[in-house]
A and B are shown apart, each in its own frame.
Chain A
Amino acid sequence: MKYLRSLLFTLLLLSGSAGAQQGSPDALIQQVTDDVLTIVRQDKDIQSGDTKKAISLVETKVLPYFDFNRMTALAVGRNWSKATPEQKKRLSEEFKKLLVRTYSNALTSYKDQTISYRPSKLEAGETDVVIKTEVIQPGSKPVQLNYALEKQSAGWKVYDVIVAGVSLVTNYRGSFSQEVRNKGIDGLIQMLSERNAQLESANK
């Protein structure tokens, strides 16, 4: 009986520490999502389409957990290895700007959706995982929202966002490789920066 009680106590301790462990990728996604949604739910400006405010929210709350270098490399595909370090840096910067805006814009159309976290089987020692969530919206089908994460020395980093099966990163591969074929890597940098400038001025 005493043995049983100590066993229970140990289990309790173990489960407690597992719950509090922020080091797991699913806990990270849940925490960031909750943080962002708590703010959006209270912020009338963001809800009425203030993209600037949404962008600054994303920059402070979400950006630290994303690996834009990797995302850009995946979007550019095979041509990435042909880019100079300086070109890689500029590509990442511009692609980051574009993705942040896309993501922020999606936030401004937030109504009263809720997020449900689907249980993910994570094996110990795994360094590359997909965390599955679902956006529940009354009146329509739930939309899958998955995150691909990689374990790095600084912790887990998101390198892809997959909406209803569509990878936001690899969906750019076709148009990026076509631009590189036509105008080279510098052409792609220019295409991205022109788009960003245009979106920025439209939102003033």
Chain B
Amino acid sequence: MKTNFSKRLSTLSCTLAIALASGCATTDSDPADPFEGFNRAMFAVNEGLDTVAMKPVAKGYDAVAPLPVKVAVGNFFGNIWDSWTAVNNLLQGKGGDALSDVGRVLINSTIGIGGAFDVASEMGLTKHSEEFGQTLGKWGVPDGPYFYWPIIGPRTTRDTVGWMVDTYYDPVWRVDNIPLRNSLVGVRYIDLRASVLPTDKVIEEAAFDKYSYIRDAYLQHRRNEIFDGDPPRIPLNY
């Protein structure tokens, strides 16, 4: 058993060593992505996992669940997250937005039948997109090196820390009943994966190097999120 484990460990460290070495061999690396070799290896792992597990399940869910069900599932988890959005808006000093988020949770949990219907949006309370990574960004914490993690995918160092804090406070992860908690986490993950299925084909066709396309898009997207969709324009010169 022990030898088996150490054998596996050495295989793993070998893989990592190769990945890191190939990373060093890359001549023109992006300064935002110093661990490109490691990241590309993890990217390959995730692509493999996605092809054999996540994507087929998400496709099945997408095919079987009627649209109103998918909408209700998305709304349900969105409503739970809105409470954490409120906290983050408060931490970023956006009291008005935080208040509106609290209003959203109150309305959607009651009139919206446990969050299944997003009544608040129709009443004009806009849904905001916040998490702790954005809060750190607003506080001036820089991106730090870019990472591509197994399962959770692309995160800058700052957003990795943000993700850990998010997970710690995430109401879904705090459910006491473990089987229920796991099912909730699973369904939310599959719902999220299913919602981006249409993007797959676009990226597949548009990207020449899928890894760097996703990285560059992620970094642009995060900048946009931290500035709440209104980042200062970078002059496009050539």
Residues of chain A having any CB pair with chain B under 8 Å: 73-74, 76-78, 80-81, 98, 101-102, 105-106, 109, 111-112, 130, 132, 138-142, 144, 148, 160, 164-175, 178-179, 181, 191, 195, 199
Judge if B198 is at the interface, Cβ distance under 8 Å. Answer: yes
| CB <8 Å contact, A179 and B127 | no
10 smallest CB-CB distances across A and B, nearest first, come from A165-B224, A139-B74, A109-B198, A139-B71, A138-B71, A166-B217, A102-B206, A175-B208, A166-B220, A165-B221
| CB <8 Å contact, A101 and B238 | no
Whose C-beta in chain A lies nearest to the C-beta of B128? Answer: A141
| CB <8 Å contact, B221 and A140 | no
Task: Looking at the assembled complex, report how far the CB atom of B95 sits from the nearest CB atom of chain A, in whole angstroms.
Answer: 21
Interface size classification for chain B: 35 or more
A109 to B194 CA separation, bound complex (whole angstroms): 13
Q: Is the interface of B mostly helix, strand, loop or mixed?
A: helix
When distances are taken between beta carbons in the complex, the residues of chain A under 8 Å from B233 are 130
| CB <8 Å contact, B75 and A139 | yes
A102 to B212 CA separation, bound complex (whole angstroms): 17
The proximity string for B residues 197-232 relative to A, scoring 1 for CB distances below 8 Å and 0 otherwise, is 010011001111100110011001111110001010
| CB <8 Å contact, B238 and A77 | yes
| CB <8 Å contact, A74 and B224 | no
When distances are taken between beta carbons in the complex, the residues of chain B under 8 Å from A112 are 67
Task: Looking at the assembled complex, report how far the CB atom of A183 sits from the nearest CB atom of chain B, in whole angstroms.
Answer: 12
| CB <8 Å contact, B201 and A105 | yes
Whose C-beta in chain A lies nearest to the C-beta of B69? Answer: A139
A73 to B46 CA separation, bound complex (whole angstroms): 34
A76 to B195 CA separation, bound complex (whole angstroms): 32
| CB <8 Å contact, A166 and B221 | yes
| CB <8 Å contact, A74 and B72 | no
| Extra A-B contacts (6), CB below 8 Å, given A138-B67, A142-B127 | A105-B201, A109-B198, A165-B225, A175-B213, A179-B208, A191-B208
Question: What are 28 residue pairs bridging A and B, where the CB atoms are less than 8 Å apart in the complex?
Answer: A74-B238, A80-B238, A102-B205, A105-B201, A105-B202, A138-B67, A138-B118, A139-B72, A139-B75, A140-B74, A141-B127, A141-B129, A144-B229, A160-B236, A165-B223, A165-B224, A165-B225, A165-B229, A166-B221, A170-B236, A171-B216, A174-B209, A175-B207, A175-B208, A175-B212, A178-B209, A179-B208, A199-B205
Choice from B74, B236, B238 contacting A78 with Cβ under 8 Å: B238
Task: Looking at the assembled complex, report how far the CB atom of B157 sits from the nearest CB atom of chain A, in whole angstroms.
Answer: 20
Task: Looking at the assembled complex, report how far the CB atom of B62 sits from the nearest CB atom of chain A, in whole angstroms.
Answer: 11
A6 to B93 CA separation, bound complex (whole angstroms): 48
Choice from B74, B129, B236 contacting A74 with Cβ under 8 Å: B236
When distances are taken between beta carbons in the complex, the residues of chain A under 8 Å from B213 are 171, 175
Task: Looking at the assembled complex, report how far the CB atom of A68 sits from the nearest CB atom of chain B, in whole angstroms.
Answer: 15
| CB <8 Å contact, A195 and B208 | yes
| CB <8 Å contact, B202 and A106 | yes
When distances are taken between beta carbons in the complex, the residues of chain B under 8 Å from A144 are 224, 229
Judge if B73 is at the interface, Cβ distance under 8 Å. Answer: yes
**Which B113-134 residues have a C-beta within 8 angstroms of A?**
118, 127, 129
Whose C-beta in chain A lies nearest to the C-beta of B231? Answer: A165
When distances are taken between beta carbons in the complex, the residues of chain B under 8 Å from A169 are 236
When distances are taken between beta carbons in the complex, the residues of chain B under 8 Å from A179 are 208
A169 to B28 CA separation, bound complex (whole angstroms): 21
Whose C-beta in chain A lies nearest to the C-beta of B217? Answer: A166
Task: Looking at the assembled complex, report how far the CB atom of B143 sits from the nearest CB atom of chain A, in whole angstroms.
Answer: 14
A96 to B12 CA separation, bound complex (whole angstroms): 44
When distances are taken between beta carbons in the complex, the residues of chain A under 8 Å from B202 are 102, 105-106
Task: Looking at the assembled complex, report how far the CB atom of A154 sits from the nearest CB atom of chain B, in whole angstroms.
Answer: 20
| CB <8 Å contact, A139 and B205 | no
The proximity string for B residues 56-87 relative to A, scoring 1 for CB distances below 8 Å and 0 otherwise, is 00000000000100111111001000000000
A154 to B176 CA separation, bound complex (whole angstroms): 64
When distances are taken between beta carbons in the complex, the residues of chain A under 8 Å from B201 are 105, 109
Whose C-beta in chain A lies nearest to the C-beta of B117? Answer: A138
Whose C-beta in chain A lies nearest to the C-beta of B223? Answer: A165
